[in-house]
């Protein structure tokens, strides 16, 4: 048995209940994390993953108040005896939302921030900045302004700020959420290397399929605040609820084979039933740069969105996907070229006017949310569009049920978790019932059940003429979209039916999109199915053993 001082994190009988909650967030947790170990923690939203991390880094109960019992020791020292200054030098935490972690204007200053607060010598700080950026292969971002970074770039810069302080324990709360697949793979390899170097790494991640590729030393599965399983990855495959935790597609097929399944053909639902080919959005030769002396972001993009389209926009971090989407609503206007909404140049429309046609969900929910309660947040848009009171109530009820947030109607949106805030921001736009729904990373911070639930609800509800969404989740794109746009370096490099665009491995590699186990299975069975679908549906449609 390891000596307590040799154990990075020792948790015994830990229970914590937030002051505003009626039930404990975590209950009777017993866990050891040793130096050099990479522990993967999985579970549905609300299972206690983030709370567990807050207990380890001292935010519970210092910042998050409530009733706590049990003990936590870091290298043999009771956490209650450690100051926050000592904790910050021992435990490095990457938050789920990078916007909450970045505090300075330039990348180099961001990486230096923690070291400066530790009063490290200037030369040491400068050396550590260069060493960390080189280790993460992001030297090109060193002189960039942080406000210019994409969501994924902010995420990896936040990692740099944490690693520069050389923590002995590293807590990672959904570090892959905003990263393109290739960058996510590279980041996972870095986390594995950090563990190999002796750091104790705890990784919380919904993208379980990806996280398993680095062979975590231990996997912990939480349900309702309790540890249901702790062991190797093989045991997780049999234990985890595959409806809530997104397991590898072959595992889902095996386990779902003898389970009842209600087919839901999302891509030929209400949205896709239109066949009149009406043009909703026309984008012609669009170029964009923020100012004459900055680099060009978009290069001569042209495409058309028709009634019935469900379009997924894929591409590397920093490739211009969000900038492209903002052109549609008119939040950004083309430097050159034209964007037309239902035949009208959006340069002649205010954002409020455009919002009647396009409802836009921001990548970062905190940029949208401001109201005292969730209900008031959802009322704001429809009221400003002059909708009838009865219609507003009906749409709010539907939208909040669609994103599974009914119990939080009276809660302050900005007091919710990142994943919950994301769902509220989606509901706020759903309630407006614009003709076109545009979403930037709608599933970031969402467990498998939640994102399937609200995506199914959106596509089956009458009213939307087209849906566009930016995503790094390839499985989300192939399951729900009937069309894929690939954007790389500000250029539209592919535009076509999902099965055609996603069949070109070389093109996907160039755009830093990696084939998943679900894509590989769908390619295999496409001659039988004629379309892409999620693993549960594929199992019952092909009626074939995946091992055959």
Convert the pLDDT of each residue in 295-322 to its tens digit: 899 999 999 999 999 999 999 999 999 9
Assign 3-class secondary structure to 46-107.
CCCHHHHHHHHCCHHHHCCCEEEEEEEEECCEEHHHCCHHHHHHHEEEECCCHHHCCCCCEH
What are the DSSP E strand ranges found in 119-237? Answer: 169-173, 200-204, 218-223, 226-231
Q: What is the pLDDT of residue 276?
A: 59
User: How many separate helices (H) and strands (E) can be counted in the chain?
Assistant: 21, 20
pTM beyond 0.75, yes or no: yes
DSSP designation for 470:
E
CATH topology of domain 266-512: Rossmann fold (3.40.50)
The answer for residues whose C-beta is within 8 angstroms of residue 113's C-beta and 6 or more apart is 103, 104, 161
Question: Lowest-pLDDT range, 253-267, 373-387, 478-492?
Answer: 253-267
Please state the separation of Cα 411 from the chain's center in Å.
Answer: 22
pLDDT of 364 over the 50 cut: yes
Q: Which among 432, 424, 441 has a CA at the least distance from the CA of 394?
A: 432
d(CA 346, CA 352): 11
Q: What is the pLDDT of residue 308?
A: 92
pLDDT tens readout for residues 413-433: 988 888 888 899 999 999 998
pLDDT tens readout for residues 477-498: 999 999 999 999 999 999 999 9
Both tokens assigned to 167? 């923590």
- Cβ pair 248, 516 in contact under 8 A: no
Mean pLDDT of 316-340: 94
Q: What is the pLDDT of residue 46?
A: 83
Q: In what order do the strands lie in the sheet containing 26-33?
A: 26-33, 9-18, 66-74, 77-78
pLDDT of 196 over the 60 cut: yes
4-240 and 266-512 share one fold: yes
Q: Is it true that domain 4-240 has CATH number 3.40.50.300?
A: yes
Q: What is the pLDDT of residue 2?
A: 53
d(CA 13, CA 31): 9
Supply φ then ψ for residue 289, to 5 degrees: -140, 150
Parse the chain into domains and list their residue ranges. Answer: 4-240, 266-512
Dihedral sign, Cα of residue 458, residue 460, residue 464, residue 466 = positive
Question: Lowest-pLDDT range, 112-121, 262-271, 286-295?
Answer: 262-271
């Amino acid at each position: 048995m390891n000596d307590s001082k040799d154990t990075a994190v020792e948790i015994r009988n830990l229970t914590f209940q937030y002051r505003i909650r009626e039930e404990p967030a975590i209950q009777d947790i017993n866990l050891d994390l040793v130096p050099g170990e990479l522990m993967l923690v999985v579970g549905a939203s609300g299972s206690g993953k983030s709370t567990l991390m807050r207990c380890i880094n001292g935010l519970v109960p210092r910042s998050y108040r409530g009733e706590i019992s049990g003990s936590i020791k870091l290298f043999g020292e009771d956490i209650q005896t450690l100051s926050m200054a000592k904790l910050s030098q021992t435990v490095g935490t990457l938050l789920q939302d990078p916007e909450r972690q970045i505090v300075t204007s330039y990348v180099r200053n961001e990486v230096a921030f923690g070291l400066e607060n530790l009063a490290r010598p200037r030369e040491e700080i400068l050396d550590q900045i260069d060493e960390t950026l080189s280790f993460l292969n992001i030297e090109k971002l060193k002189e960039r302004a942080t406000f210019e970074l994409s969501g994924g770039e902010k995420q990896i810069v936040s990692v740099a700020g944490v690693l520069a302080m050389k923590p002995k324990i590293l807590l990672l709360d959904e570090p892959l959420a905003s990263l393109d697949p290739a960058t996510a793979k590279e980041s996972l390899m870095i986390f594995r290397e950090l563990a190999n170097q002796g750091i104790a790494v705890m990784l919380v991640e919904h993208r379980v399929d990806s996280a398993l590729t680095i062979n975590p030393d231990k996997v912990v599965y939480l349900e309702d605040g309790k540890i249901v399983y702790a062991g190797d990855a093989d045991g997780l495959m049999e234990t985890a609820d595959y409806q809530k935790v997104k397991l590898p597609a072959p595992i889902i097929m095996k386990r779902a084979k003898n389970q009842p399944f209600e087919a839901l053909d999302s891509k030929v639902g209400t949205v896709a039933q239109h066949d009149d080919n009406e043009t909703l959005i026309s984008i012609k030769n669009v170029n964009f740069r923020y100012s004459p002396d900055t680099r060009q972001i978009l290069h001569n993009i042209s495409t058309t969105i028709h009634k019935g389209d469900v379009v997924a926009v894929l591409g590397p971090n920093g490739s211009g996907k969000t900038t492209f989407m903002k052109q549609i609503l008119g939040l950004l206007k083309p430097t050159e070229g034209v964007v037309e909404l239902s035949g009208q140049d959006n340069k002649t429309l205010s954002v409020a006017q455009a919002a009647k046609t396009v409802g836009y969900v921001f990548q970062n929910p905190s940029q949208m949310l401001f109201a005292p309660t969730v209900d008031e947040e959802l009322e704001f848009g429809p009221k400003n569009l002059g909708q009838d009171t009865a219609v507003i109530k009906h749409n709010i009820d539907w939208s909040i049920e669609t994103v599974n947030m009914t119990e939080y109607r009276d809660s302050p949106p900005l007091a919710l978790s990142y994943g919950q805030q994301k769902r509220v921001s989606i509901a706020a736009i759903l309630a407006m019932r614009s003709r076109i729904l545009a979403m930037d990373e709608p599933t970031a911070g969402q467990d498998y059940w939640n994102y399937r639930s609200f995506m199914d609800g959106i596509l089956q509800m009458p009213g939307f003429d087209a849906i566009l969404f930016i995503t790094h989740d390839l499985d989300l794109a192939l399951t729900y979209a009937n069309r894929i746009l690939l954007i790389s370096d500000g250029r539209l490099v592919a535009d076509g039916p999902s099965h055609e665009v996603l069949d070109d491995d070389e093109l996907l590699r160039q755009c830093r999109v990696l084939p998943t186990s679900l894509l590989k299975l769908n390619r295999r069975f496409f001659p039988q199915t004629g379309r892409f679908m999620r693993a549960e549906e594929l199992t019952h449609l092909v009626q074939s053993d995946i091992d055959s």
